[in-house]
Amino acid sequence: MRGFNDDDFLLDTLIARRLYREVAADLPVIDYHSHLQQGEIAARKVFANITELWLGGDHYKWRLMRTAGVDESFITGDQSDEAKFRAFCKVLPLAAGNPIHHWCHLELKRLFGIELSINEANAGDIWSLANAKLATMDTWAFLEQAKVEIACTTDDPADDLAQHDELARSALKTRVLPAYRPDRAMRINKPDFAEYLGQLGKAAGITIDSFAALVKALDDRVGYFHARGARISDHALDIPLSVAPVSAAECEALFARRLGGAELSEAQAGVYLRGLMEALGRVYARHGWAMCLHIGAHRNNNSRRMREMGPDTGYDSISDMSCSSSLAALLDALDSTDELPKTLLFCLNPAMNEVLSTLIGAFQDGSVRGKLQFGPAWWFNDHKDGNLAQLATLANHGVLGTFVGMVTDSRSFASYPRHDYFRRLLCRLLGQWVEAGEYPDDMAALGDIVRGVCYENAKHYFGL
């Protein structure tokens, strides 16, 4: 019987173990999509204790604790940090098969050198040992210990990126780069949309009183971000885009209607969003950027909790929104004028895996290896089975060796062992194929795949 979380964790063949140890384990990390706070990096924040590190803002763990019957006072409420940590340790053993159970044990082992099982009996020892180590670590230490070569944050177009400028001048070994996330410009029906246009216009030095002015402001800010190292944009597509072509006049009319105080229907919002995404896609193509589309989230389902706690607190789910026709139409509109940028499709609904993994093949043009990418297992798919399914689906329909690999998609500085988790799963899958006689026992070829997927492809693809 194998020991839990031993050095061969998830590596079930000799080939997998060799690939992991000889190729994957020590590669640097390029984390091209995260939600780390650049202010915490610039300030070299030291975490008060493991509760602040693990439970502060981590809606994955909050959701798990609520499901296990933990009272909210021990999650986001007024209980002490130690009491919250002990409550988490008490219920985590119930979460067999949940990736949080795997991730937390990997984090304890890799970040703190602690190999105790997380449970109620060990909570006190883990609390003391982890906190003693945390007292010697700051945010830079987390990045450098995990061999993070590049970490991309998530930044609004109106941000001044002053802390990024500060980090670029610092002695931090990790390059911390901004990524462009214009969601507030996309969400036209949000109550603060007009207020946001004022903020964006001020940053761009433009009065945004038309759709054309909005596009001009966003274009100017792409240039500002580009000068500070940005090469990636992120977009949450939470409603279907219009399938039919959209004219500039339609976008102007809808923009004026919204600024006049009217709320758009979902169909009208889809028309506006299609027009905006086309305009932005052309901007990204001109700058050589990659456009990341995050598809299939159903956000803030619980209205009571939304009122009490706000967004991103653990009340989201997978959407069954149909998006293949609208995505194909968007990609085709950009491709038809040779203005389709490098594009990653992140899918939250596993039922869409085959749909998106085949859609990307329709727009490859040989100009860039894997110009269109089926993005890594994201959010609710980021578990053992989800990662293996994403890799196998990509292999079935595309070229696995061109894949740009994993991201943390996390607010936690402790989350970098997720890259190790992914690397182990990649080596596991390749090892199983060799064992089954489905791929040659060719360490050079296998090593090229692993090295590319885990590090080199992302570096070249994003131009980082």
Q: Are residues 157 and 279 in the same domain?
A: yes
Same domain, 306 and 386: yes
In this structure, are 100 and 145 located in the same domain? no
Average pLDDT over residues 314-320: 95
Short-list 369, 373, 454, 459, CA closest to 418: 454
Instruction: Looking at the structure, tell me whether residues 133 and 153 fall in a common domain.
Output: no
In a shared domain, residues 31 and 132:
no
Are the CB atoms for 423 and 20 separated by under 8 Å? Answer: yes
Same structural domain, 342 and 452? yes
Q: Which of 82, 103, 137 is the last residue of a domain?
A: 137
Say whether both 91 and 205 belong to one domain: no
Domain holding 353: CATH number? 3.20.20.140
Q: Is 6 a domain residue?
A: no
Residue 239, Cβ density class (10 Å: 0-12 exposed, 13-18 middle, ≥19 buried):
middle
The whole-number pLDDT of residue 128 equals 98
For residue 83, give both structure tokens.
Answer: 């009491």
Domain that holds residue 326: 14-47+139-462
User: pLDDT per residue over 122-159, tens digit each?
Assistant: 999 999 999 999 999 999 999 999 999 999 999 999 99
237 and 115, same domain (yes or no): no
Instruction: Tally Cβ neighbours within 10 Å of residue 329.
Output: 18
Q: Are residues 160 and 298 in the same domain?
A: yes
Question: Which residues fall within 8 angstroms of residue 251, CB to CB, at 6 or more apart?
Answer: 211, 271, 272, 275, 276
Q: How many domains does the chain have?
A: 2
Q: Mark whether 38 and 65 lie in a shared domain.
A: no
Residue 2 resides in a domain: no
What does the pLDDT average to over 428-451?
A: 98
Mean pLDDT calculated for residue range 51-70: 97
Residue 228 within a domain: yes
- Residue that finishes a domain, picked among 137, 168, 196: 137
What is the mean predicted confidence (pLDDT) over 372-397?
Answer: 97
- Residue whose entry in the numeric block shows the structure tokens 């009065």: 207
pLDDT band at 323; cut points 50, 70, 90: confident
At 57, which CATH number? 1.10.2020.10
Task: Say whether both 83 and 224 belong to one domain.
Answer: no
Confidence of residue 321 (pLDDT cuts 50, 70, 90): confident
Distance, in Å, from the CA atom of 11 to the CA atom of 7, rounded to the nearest integer, reads: 9
7 in a structural domain = no
Residues 155 and 238 in one domain: yes
What percent of the chain lies above the pLDDT cut of 70?
Answer: 100
